[in-house]
Amino acid sequence: MNEEDIIKKALQKGCDAAEIYMKHARGISVEAKSGEVEALEASKDFGISIKVIKRHRLGFAFTTNQQEIEKTIEDAVNNAEWTIEDKYVDIPDNAAWNEVLIFDKNIKHIKEDDMIKQALLLEKSALAFDKRIRQVRKAQVSAGSASTTIANSKGIHVNYESTYYSAHVTTLAQDDNGDSQMGWDFAGSRRMSDIDVTSIGKTSSQRAVELLGSRKITSVKVPVILSPSVAIDFLEILSSSLSAEAVQKNRSFLMEKTGKTVMSPVIDIIDDGSMPWGTGTKPTDDEGVPMIKKDVISKGVLNGYFHNTYTAKKAGGQSTGNAIRGSFKSLPGVGVTNIYIKASGKGYENELLKSLSKGIVIFSAMGVHTANPVSGDFSIGISGLWIENGEVQYPFKEAVLSGNILEMFKKVEMTGNDLRFYGNTGSPSILIGDMDISA
């Protein structure tokens, strides 16, 4: 049964609108340890979900069995009888969408032996960086391809193929005094050539070695540089408050701030679902609305929120192409595509680091996810480097950074030129004015 037939059957059962989301996916993951293959996993998945609207009531059902599609249609229609009436439930109209760069044939046809070689090289490069790297806890390389179809009764019919490739490594460094430190690095892209496992292994080990001999510091109030990996943790919390769904449920610290200055004029935040090879790039969102580039925050001013079809109708506006599904098993919520803080021309060592007469660089932050999503308040454990007169003095550990996310972003003085993506979230290094650091 094809997509048109599924939609037609749903409408014949008295539904006012119908939408389907279908995905075929294949993947392979290899983990290396001690120069050998520790684990190899291959997967092959299929799933289809059906959403119907009947008298302003939403019905939803899914299946992983192609032989049960007729029953799934019936289940979706029956489920609509048990939901409350909601005048904002809708599906989007058809609109033109553009092709985007998200498919790498080298990934789709990758051989198992090639994946094994990459995983072994990842581990080897991490170990080769420094003799103090005693162990690689995890060296994993993953690849996958998928075919996605979205269709609805208003004329949307989207079909596209996509690929994904990633590498992740965690290393352990130990010095002669018995001090041990962990380091990690990760990279993902829809194109295999973007991932350099040798560089990822080196970066992970460098992070671990840099923190050897860490000391505790006294409570101070000093400027802070967030490394890209730490800055994206805060950006992810901020992103959740940019969701119109969170705003409409009174769960956002950016409520009623459209058009207002919410952070430093140094900050520009962009969400771009059309970015070539981005892990969040697709021709359309998960409802079939075309992906576009959006300037979310410009020179510190909030331009608007992210919408799917439901939140847009509730707000009296248009979807921004931010309907995102966790999988075919769920209805689309509101999420980011490829969100990032724009980099400047400022060099990390030449401008950001040299500007610190006294301050810290944070390489690791523990517990950012515990930040209050409504107030933005946070208190997290940090480790990194103590800086004086623009030079690294020593690594530190077990300090606590406290504050408020919006207030912190208002204190941003400079961004670096080292924009780095971790998945679909990216940031350069960020220099922030005086922050409270507790011992």
The verdict on 128 and 162 lying in the same domain is yes
pLDDT tens, position by position, 200-244 = 999 999 999 999 999 999 999 999 999 999 999 999 999 999 999
The verdict on 189 and 220 lying in the same domain is no
The verdict on 419 and 286 lying in the same domain is yes
The verdict on 329 and 377 lying in the same domain is yes
Domain count, the chain: 2
Q: What pLDDT shows up at residue 439?
A: 83
The verdict on 250 and 183 lying in the same domain is no
Neighbours of 302 (CB within 10 A): 19
Which of 193, 210, 227 finishes a domain?
210
The verdict on 229 and 307 lying in the same domain is yes
Which distant-in-sequence residues (6+ apart) come within 8 Å of 270 by Cβ?
A: 293, 294, 295, 296, 339, 340, 342
Q: What pLDDT shows up at residue 350?
A: 84
**CA of residue 386 relative to chain centroid, distance:** 29
The verdict on 170 and 194 lying in the same domain is yes
Neighbours of 142 (CB within 10 A): 18
Q: What pLDDT shows up at residue 345?
A: 86
Whole-angstrom distance, CA of residue 266 vs CA of residue 285? 30
Helices (H) then strands (E): counts for the chain: 9, 20
> Which domain, by its residues, includes 372?
214-439
The verdict on 143 and 162 lying in the same domain is yes
Which pTM was predicted?
0.95
Q: What pLDDT shows up at residue 83?
A: 96
The verdict on 9 and 102 lying in the same domain is yes
Which of 157, 184, 210 finishes a domain?
210
248-257 contact pairs (CB < 8 A, 24+): 248/311, 248/314, 248/315, 250/374, 251/373, 251/374, 252/373, 252/374, 253/373, 253/374, 253/375, 253/376, 253/405, 253/406, 254/302, 254/305, 254/406, 257/302
The verdict on 152 and 293 lying in the same domain is no
141: left (phi over 0), alpha (psi -120 to 50) or beta: beta
The verdict on 169 and 259 lying in the same domain is no
Which of 210, 233, 250 finishes a domain?
210
- Sign of CA pseudo-dihedral 32, 38, 39, 40: positive
pLDDT tens, position by position, 266-319 = 999 999 999 999 999 999 999 999 999 999 999 999 999 999 999 999 999 999
**CA of residue 332 relative to chain centroid, distance:** 16
The verdict on 280 and 171 lying in the same domain is no
What are the phi and psi torsion angles at 4 (to 5°)?
-60, -40
Question: Which residues are paired to 163 by β-bridges?
Answer: 145
- Spans of the chain below 50 pLDDT: none
